[in-house]
Amino acid sequence: MKQGKEKQTNPWHAMAVVGVVGTELATLLIIGVWLGRKVDSYFQTSPIFLIIGIFSGFVLGIWFVIRLIKPFIED
């Protein structure tokens, strides 16, 4: 049991979690922007799908972050 407790208090583990959180948020936001711009250029609607893509990427990013952090909060 001691090893599990050490793993949770390890500062490198915390830094890894923070890195994954930032990477997931940034990646999903960039994918949302990219897809929004592609759909906008296809349908020739200027900012509509870009805004939808940004919002979708942000919401998905928050959802993934909540899923990632939930086990740490429950302990």
Distances 67 to 12, 34, 38, 49, 60 between C-alpha atoms, Å: 20, 24, 29, 26, 11
- pLDDT, position 47: 93
Helices (H) and strands (E) in the chain, counts: 3, 0
Taking the C-alpha atoms of residue 33 and residue 48, their distance in angstroms, rounded to an integer, is 11
- pLDDT, position 4: 54
Over residues 7-50, the pLDDT tens digits come to 567 889 889 999 999 999 999 999 999 999 999 999 999 899 99
Taking the C-alpha atoms of residue 61 and residue 33, their distance in angstroms, rounded to an integer, is 13
Give residue 6's pLDDT band: very low, low, confident or very high (50, 70, 90): low
